[in-house]
């Protein structure tokens, strides 16, 4: 056999091997999304479901985190990192963008929270970002601000924003990020999740480890709303969301979903249709029909699954048509102006559904 024939044979075998890697149950999967980057913390423009922002990790652990924007429902993406300090002195980057928030009635205004970076703000739909860290604590010898894990905007006063930090609990601004101050004691760090009651925005809920904390005075004081026995039963809190009526839903590590309709005074478990010992990673509510919920679950036997409930969480069914069998899901978001549109940020890129999860398609 000639060298040319050998080379051609090797090429054919390699192509067949790569094709085999990309096939799952007869369906062909390709890595889609912004520049093939992994991960994806997502936020959708509340007035236009086709405008999407994605904070992603680069293709390697040494890559800088990047924020992308699409104005055509994910067909095309633009990198929007102007003003983000992707490289600090001594080659220490900001690590990751952990959360994104968009002002509901002023969608050109966005906030981003970063690891060892504090908070950044854009007033022109991401074209430029500025650091807004006055009052955010400095935590190390490299003068890096604290890590921001969550951001929530007051639905009645958009100048008021709360941020969950890695080190000092919850901080707050009342002037659109110009100045931040630490709030009251009583909440454990790191604060991974923050939600605010839509109709009573002085009431907030935060998670730290296996605890849920409540503040009824705009963050001045916090109390735990789970007893020690409940903490033992619920396990670590992995997701937290609230509907327009103040109903709380909590996702836990390996113990499913819990619901409270009385501000955390009592809880009921929601498990019909979910495999036993499912780790709930993400939980979102249809804003126009709050009886419809979506979760990302990791069953003990493995394999991430997206589930939907049409009855306030009483029963669940899997909605994985169009998704790879083995994929890590970083985020799940719903378009508030068109709630049949949802996006998944995954290690295979970003997937989208336009029919409430019946079919998912990979974005380019």
Mean pLDDT of 241-251: 94
Per-residue H/E/C for the chain = CCHHHHHHHHHHHHHHHHHHHCEECCEECCCCCHHHCEEEEEEECCCCCCCEEEEEECCCCCCCCEEEEECCCCCCCEECCCCCCCCEHHHECCCCEEEEEECCCCCCCEEEEECCCEEEEECCCCCCCEECCCCCCECCCCCCECCEEEEEECCCCCCCEEEEECCCCEEEECCCCCCCEECCCCCCCCCCEEEECCCCCCCEEEEECCEEEEECCCCCCCEECCCHHHHHHHCCEEEEEECCCCCEEEEECCCCEEEECCCCCCCEEECECCCCCEEEEEEEECCCCCCCEEEEEEECCCCCEEEEECCCCCECEECCCCCCCCCCEEEEEECCCCCCCEEEEECCEEEEECCCCCCCEECC
Report which of residues 227 and 169 the model is more confident about.
Answer: 169
Tell me the average pLDDT across 332-361.
92
pLDDT tens, position by position, 84-124: 875 544 334 456 788 999 999 999 999 999 888 899 999 99
Over residues 289-345, the pLDDT tens digits come to: 999 999 999 887 777 789 999 999 999 999 999 998 777 888 999 999 999 999 998
Delimit the domains of the chain by residue range. 230-318
Enter the CATH code of domain 230-318: 2.40.10
The predicted model gives 75-84 an average pLDDT of: 88
Report residue 253's pLDDT band, with 50, 70 and 90 as the boundaries: confident
Average pLDDT over residues 187-206: 92
**What's residue 37's pLDDT?**
55
* pLDDT of 25: 36
Instruction: Supply the mean pLDDT for the chain.
Output: 82
Among the listed ranges 29-33, 181-185, 250-254, 356-360, which one has the minimum average pLDDT value? 29-33
């Amino acid at each position: 056999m000639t060298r040319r024939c050998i080379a051609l044979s090797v090429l054919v075998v390699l192509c067949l091997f790569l094709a085999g890697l990309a096939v799952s149950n007869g369906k062909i999967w390709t890595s889609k999304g912004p520049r093939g980057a992994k991960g994806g913390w997502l936020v959708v423009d509340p007035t236009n479901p086709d405008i999407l922002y994605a904070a992603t990790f680069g293709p390697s652990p040494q890559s800088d985190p990047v924020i992308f924007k699409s104005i055509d429902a994910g067909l095309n993406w633009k990198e929007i990192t102007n003003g983000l300090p992707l490289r600090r002195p001594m080659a220490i980057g900001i690590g990751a963008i952990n959360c994104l928030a968009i002002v509901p009635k002023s969608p050109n205004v966005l906030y981003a929270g970063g690891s060892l970076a504090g908070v950044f703000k854009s007033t022109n739909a991401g074209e430029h970002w500025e650091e807004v860290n006055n009052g955010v604590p400095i935590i190390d010898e490299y003068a890096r601000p604290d890590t921001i894990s969550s951001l929530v905007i007051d639905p009645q006063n958009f100048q008021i924003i709360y941020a969950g930090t890695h080190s000092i609990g919850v901080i707050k601004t009342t002037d659109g990020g110009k100045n931040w101050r630490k709030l009251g004691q009583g909440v454990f760090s790191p604060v991974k999740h923050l939600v605010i009651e839509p109709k009573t925005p002085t009431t907030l809920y935060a998670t730290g480890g296996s605890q849920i904390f409540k503040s009824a005075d705009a963050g001045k004081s916090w109390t735990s709303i789970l007893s020690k026995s409940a903490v033992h039963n619920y396990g670590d809190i992995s997701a937290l969301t609230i509907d327009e009526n103040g109903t709380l839903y909590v996702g836990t590590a390996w113990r499913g979903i819990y619901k409270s309709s009385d501000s955390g005074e009592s809880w009921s478990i929601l498990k019909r249709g979910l495999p036993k010992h499912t780790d709930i990673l993400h939980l979102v509510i249809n804003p126009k029909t709050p009886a419809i919920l979506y979760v990302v679950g990791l069953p003990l036997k493995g394999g991430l699954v997206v589930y939907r409930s049409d009855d306030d969480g009483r029963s669940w069914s899997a909605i994985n048509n169009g998704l790879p069998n083995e994929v890590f899901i970083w985020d799940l978001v719903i378009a508030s102006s068109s709630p049949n549109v949802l996006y998944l940020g995954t290690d295979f890129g970003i997937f989208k559904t336009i029919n409430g999860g019946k079919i998912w398609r990979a974005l380019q």
